[in-house]
Every structure is written in structure tokens, then in C-alpha cells.
Structure 1
């Protein structure tokens, strides 16, 4: 007996953080709004659609955003509010299916192949969900509906904001063909650049590449790329999607370069990362150091240990190990980050914690 065609919905809130701020503060409705800090070292966390028309984007330095849009209104982030609204939205999802895979506070995949409420189609369910979100939160959402996750996510961008789009079975390959590979979820800027160097610009170009060629250039990701070029994605909606990494980063009030200052910052980052690990009773084997220089160029360095990290001192020491070959630095540093990945909770590593750190999380 053949398996039923899956029905997947990708829900993506429209300019979520900024829309919450505009909802709660009528004085900024209709204005270009950036969630973030306006000071020199600030970064835009989210931008309203009015601000996006000027080229303002998330992760953009605030000074650049202000230059692009002099009338930009900055509002400080309120993550506790965003989390509360996200919980409301997920409660709406749960009326229709238990198969929910959150990607962030403002987007999720839903598998409605066998919905909890009898509805004629995934399209009807998506319409109901969007209407309920608007009625209960005052916010708009966009939806993509298709037979797999990859296509559903592509579709949700197709009618933004406050719209939805369906890619039905049999239409995936044709839909993907003219799109730039840089727009594909799962193909980041670095991979897109490598594909461009190989003459792969669109989904159609990607489809012409034999699997053996993709394997040679992209390793274990090759089969995924081979599939999506044909509209194929067998990944299930993962209800208990495991966390892949835990990390912290800090943007300094002034650029730093001295080794002692960098070591102090690394120690603080290691303590904060380890506090997060302690809270989740988890550790990891791979440590990644991230630096962003004062000219905004960025580099990362990683190392994988033979056993799980056992505490903040070891994490800080590994960060210093990764930093050492880079010294003396060619430029001052504006941002430093430390991440622990290859996570594992099966060995219950010895957790050394400071209650004051946990209280700050």
C-alpha cells in the first residue's frame, strides 16, 4: 500500500519582532521601524516592511541602517513579549496537528497529512491558522503549502506579506528550475558562491549536475542538493528537533586588540555558554571561535575534542588555543563569539555551575 502524499505547511510570521512593536505602540504604525539599539555599536535585530523598502535588514549595523533610512525609528527588543506571542501562535498550530517543528520564534513546519480537525485540504488549514493568528494576536502570517518541507518554505516567501501559496504534487521541479540557488533554504552564501564557480546559478543548472559531481564538490550534502533540484525532499517534520549547538557572542563597546582583553572576553563567553549547557544538562565536543574585525570581515576557527567538554575552564582554554595562532591580530575586534557543538547528553558530563550565571539566563 502506497504512502499518502504528505501535506506540509510552513508558517512564517511577517516581520515578527517589528510587527509586535507596531501592534503594541500605535505611534510607530506605518513608520519604518527597526528593533535594536541605535547607538554606534548597535545592530538591527528586525526591520518592518516600511524600513525594508529602504534596504534596512536584520543583522545590519545600526549606523548603516540609519544612513539608508534617516527617518528610521529604533525600538529596544522585548524578547519576553516575543516569546509569549510565539507560544500563543504555537497553541494555534497544536489545534490542527501534533507534528510541529519550530525553526525559530516566528516560523515552523506543520505536517497536516492526518490533521486533528477534519478539513478538506492543507490550503484550508493554512487559511484557518492565519485567520486565527490575526484574530488572536493582531499579527499577520504567510504560509507555504506543499508535499515537502523544502518546497513549503520556498512557497511561504512567494506571497509575503500576509499571503499563502501552494506548490502541488508534480509541480515542484518546474517551480524550482528558474530560481537562483542562493534563494534555496539549506544553501548558504558560501555554498552558493562555490556553485556559481561551477556554473550552477539556478535550480535548472543544479539539476544538470550528476550526483557523482555533486558528491565530489559538496560531500554529504550532495544528495540533498540533487533531490531539491528535482523538487524532492524526504526529510520528516521533526517534533523533537535536537539542538545542534550552544553559543554566545558579544559586540564590544569599543574595539579591542590586546591579548589580555581577548582572554577576559573569552572567559566570560565560556562561562555563559557553560551555564546554558548546565541548564540543559548537555555538553559537546566541537568548539568554534568567531571574530569580527573592525572592518566587519569575519573569520571562524574550530577544533573537535576527543571527549566532551567538562566545564567552563576547559571551554575557555580551548577558545584561547584557537585564538593563539591568530595573534598578534591584524586588526581590532568588534565582536567575539564562542560556540559548542557536536552536542551530547548521553554521558551526563560533570556539571560545574555558578548559580549567579544560571540566574542571568
Structure 2
């Protein structure tokens, strides 16, 4: 049992640290605003530098596709429309249970506004128990738990495309359909995987997105409380004191030891959302940016763009594949539909929260899952079905 009295004694130090950090961020924001204004005036030069020296930068820097002082006023969508969303959860494998397996549960939601069509609220569970599902990824040094998470990402993308395309086919007269994903469309973790493992994951995701593209269903990833610094890093080009932003030449020793010591790091650790909190009013969207994450080199026509949207309660990051972002009609439609969802959900998209509720696997669900599995194993004629002594002791603790 957690000793809250001991924890409370540590809170004062934490509070003092956060107060100091808040003061430092306020000073960095003033500097960021000055650099932002200078970068706006020198935007063409900074874009040229980014294009020419991208491979020599020691940090990930997004590229603005519009003037930095661009603001888009977004009106919540009010005509009939459909929002489709998915989210996933899982039961992780445990060697202490009666069998080594895992379960992925994908929650699906389709909400129809301005019509009498019943919503879709369900989930798709799937149990993985075959050797290739449990041990196949170990040939690439990937643990089963990590592979399970990647498989869940694929399952969410496939379910989203199937549901969205199905809704458009069944109800084409009830306005546009938006496919909404929880979290980033940029799968950063794939960068660290061997190419052979990545080939088992990414093509299936992109194939699902391609299906949405063919049916002209816009796709968006909604990120609440984003922690990215991709847009803020663009200001580092303005802060660079050298004629050319060649990090590997001018700041190589600093970058090797600690990138935060480089002259252009004066804004670190300022995040994009904190910066845009100063510039955006409720209902406004930032200019469009193109991410430069390395993994996007394998996305083809689905490379990811993003913008920041002031939803009233926070600054959210909205990501879109290229075919959605560069289509002015679809992009405006996405932002308008997302803002409507946030207003209906009192600060967070209704469809995403409902998809989470459909997907979540509770502790009691987990116990019932293994109880059903135990009965199935016994009915199959297996004997000595039991958990490890450690798990048995934990379940029967006298504490």
C-alpha cells in the first residue's frame, strides 16, 4: 500500500521545481515571439536553408507550407455528417498465466449527426496464440509485448478504414465522413525497427489509408496535450548564429555531448503547443506544416502534415496525410468536423472517447478472459492447468 504521507513530503520540492520551470518558459516565450516575427519576415530564406541543409541538422525540424502569420478561422461543422473512430487495448502475455497468449481489442464507433441512423458502438477482440505471433518477432530482437503493440496499431488502422468505407457506402446521402484516429499518424517507433520487421507493419497501415483515399474519406489524427517541438525547431534556423545551419560542422562537439548546449537551443525545451497558445485564439488554426520525421520517407503519398488548433480548452495537434492536407476542401472539412466533435465532447472528441470506452479491457475482463480460457483448455482434455506459484500467491495474499 502506498504511503501517501511520505509522498506528500516530496511534493513541495516538485512544486518548487515546476514553478521555476514556469518562469523560465515565460522568458523563453518572449524570445520565441521575437524569433517568430523575424522568421516570418525571412521565411523564404529559412525555407531555402531547411531544404539545403536538412541532412546536416542535428534536430527534427518541420517545414511551414504557409506564411507563419497565417491564421485560419474554423467554424464547427453543423450539417449532417458521420464521424468514425477506433481505439485499441490489450491483454498482455504473461508467463505466470495458464497459457502464454495475448488479446487485442479494437473499439469501433460511427456517430451519425443530422440523421436517424443508429450509431455503431462495438469492439473486435482477437486472441493471438500461434508461435509466429508470440515468438516470430524475436528474430529481430523485438519482445512480444512490443510486437503486440505494433499489431494493435495495424488492427486499429484496418478497422478504421473498413468501418469508414462501409458507412459511406450505406449512408451516402448524410454528408461527409471523417475517419478519426487517436494519436499521431507518424509512427515514430517504426524508425528503430529492422526493415524486415517494418515491412510486416507499415504496408498494412498504408494500405488501409489508401482505401480511405480512394473513397475520398479524409483521415486525421488528433493529439491532445501534444509534446512535439517540430514547429518550434524551425525557429532554431533563425536563432543560428552561423551563415549556414550546418550543425555537424559548427556544433559537432556540442551536438555529440549535449545538443542543448548548441547556440540555437535557446528555446529548449519550449513545445509547439506552448508557443501557439500565445498566437492562436479559440477556433483558430495555425499554418500547415510538413513533418520531416525520417519514417515518413517510407510513407509515399501518405506523408504527414499537421497544424495546431485552438479548441478552447487546449492547443491540439491535428495530423493529416498528404492527400487530405493539400486538398483545401478536405483540410477545412477535417478541422471543422474536429472542432464540432470537441464542442460536443466538452473539450475532447466524442468519437475518440467512445472508441476508448469500447476498447478498454478492465481488470475484471482480464480475469473472465482467463477463466474462459481455462475452461476451454480443460474441455480440450488438457490437465494440470494452473497459474505459476507467484501468480497464485498474489491472488490469495493475506495483505
| TM band (smaller chain) | under 0.3
- Give the structure-1-normalised TM-score: 0.22
Higher gyration radius (CA)? 2
1 or 2 for the larger relative contact order (CA 8 Å, sep ≥6)? 2
- Give the structure-2-normalised TM-score: 0.21
Structure 1 or 2: more helix by fraction: 2
Structure 1 or 2: more strand by fraction: 1
